[in-house]
Structure 1
Amino acid sequence: MRYASIGSGNYAIMLATMAVVVVLSSIGASKGVVFGPVITDGAFFLFPLAYILGDMITEVYGPRAAKRAIITGFVANAASVLIYAILIALPGFDDDYGIAHQQALELALGPVWQVVLASMAGYAGGQTTNSLIMWSGKRRHSEKRLYQRLASSTGAGEAVDTIVFCTIAAPVIGITTFNQWLSYTFFGFLWKILVQYALMPVTARAIGWLKKKEPTYWGDAPAS
């Protein structure tokens, strides 16, 4: 199979963007959001981007490069929890504003570790599934049937991620009944795949552009 070397700046930018998206998604997901009958969380508009980047990395740079990206996002998420704990533990001002600020930090960032735990479990399972399907499809069809492997990897990866994440994170954002969990999980999954399917032509064109910009993709460099 043909893959580009990860030594270029393009891979580094995508890796950094993916890690930032994962960390910000964990913060946003700690807030429950309601649109009429639809229950979701504050990260609903961010997280699909992580899977689009995951598809691009797997297709252009290969499964080992995708594994590095998944691990980087995993570590960044874990490190963010430690940093939040240190921020909360640091002694602050004892005036009214300082006390109010401390309470706000504890309320906003205190429960994030539970969301991060849910995010890490869902992200690891979902991205691994996504990457495996992308790799398997490319192994069988080489440069052909890109849309087919994008669609199948998106559906399976997002299903695993959403079920795992929503089950662990639901109590943190105030979801207490099965019907609420079902709405949260179903609409979360539906939103993610609709966004990714709608952006699939853009993703495919971006992958094509990236393949042309990576000289090692069409050269003899070893797969990453």
Structure 2
Amino acid sequence: MYIYFTAVFVGLLLLSNILSVKLFEMGSIVLPAAAIVYVITYLMTDVIGEVYGKKAARRTVQAGFLTQVLAMVFIYISIQLPPAADFQSQAAFEEIFNGSFRIILASLVSYFVSQHLDVSIFHTLKQRHGRKKLWLRNNLSTMTSQLFDTVLFITIAFWGVVPTSVLLGMIVSQYIWKFTVAAVDTPFAYLLVRWARKYEEKHQSELLKAS
């Protein structure tokens, strides 16, 4: 099950990078479409860490980082390839996929710091509480790491580009959204952890019978 959770994590991570070019409004809050996807990656690392341990969660985070770097390299190569004569969408293709270096740097830095912080906080609490209080470590680790993720990304990507008041407004609005999702996803964390543990117990039982 670990490999499937990691695949979902990496897939959602790559999808969030693609969706980030689309902005949408929720009342007075403006968010990138990636916001509906990226927050779920924290749920996945929490579930992986809860069932498979801290090392497994860190491996998943590292796999996601490496995959993002590789994706950006191949996207850049794809953009530079000469378009076919019948391909009339090169400009649109570049607009969607050709993020600026500053945005890419902001994404990688915020991802690397926040995801590792999420794993560290989660497992510090897990060592203290064991299997109890999953709701506490799921929420506290995600809400804290998402704050760092939001502040780092917005600051690196937009410092000096937009007024400070707008910068602070972007940080606050995006964090409110991430905070809300982190609070709502707790039942799903319990559900996925229970499902994964049952799967692993059944798998181990079948291996013992086979041996």
TM-score by length of 1: 0.83
Deviation at 1:215, TM superposition (A): 2.4
In structure 1, distance between residues paired with 2:29 and 2:50: 34
Deviation at 1:111, TM superposition (A): 1.6
In structure 2, distance between residues paired with 1:146 and 1:34: 32
Deviation at 1:113, TM superposition (A): 4.8
Name 1:42's counterpart in structure 2.
33
SS in 2 for 1:144: coil
Where does the alignment leave 5 or more consecutive residues of structure 1 unmatched? Answer: 1-9, 220-224
The CA deviation string for residues 19-50 of structure 1, in whole angstroms up to 9 with x for no partner, is 11111111222334344531221211111110
1:180 aligns with 2:171: no
- What is the aligned residue count? 205
Q: Which has the higher contact order (CA 8 A, sep 6+)?
A: 1
In structure 1, distance between residues paired with 2:101 and 2:11: 16
Deviation at 1:168, TM superposition (A): 2.3
1:150 aligns with 2:141: no
Deviation at 1:126, TM superposition (A): 0.9
Where does the alignment leave 5 or more consecutive residues of structure 2 unmatched? Answer: 206-211
Change in Cα spacing, 1:70 to 1:216, as seen in structure 2 (3 Å) is farther
- 1:128 corresponds, among 116, 125, 129, to 116
What is the aligned-residue identity percentage? 27
Name 1:105's counterpart in structure 2.
93
Deviation at 1:112, TM superposition (A): 5.5
Structure with a larger share of its residues in helix = 2
Say what the alpha-carbon RMSD is for the aligned residues.
Answer: 2.3
SS in 1 for 2:136: helix
TM-score by length of 2: 0.88
Whether the aligned pair in 1 keeps the contact of 2:143 and 2:178 (CA below 8 Å) is no
Whether the aligned pair in 2 keeps the contact of 1:30 and 1:115 (CA below 8 Å) is no
Deviation at 1:218, TM superposition (A): 9.2
Whether the aligned pair in 2 keeps the contact of 1:85 and 1:110 (CA below 8 Å) is yes
Whether the aligned pair in 1 keeps the contact of 2:143 and 2:182 (CA below 8 Å) is no
Name 1:78's counterpart in structure 2.
69
Residues 86-95 or 58-67, more deviating: 86-95
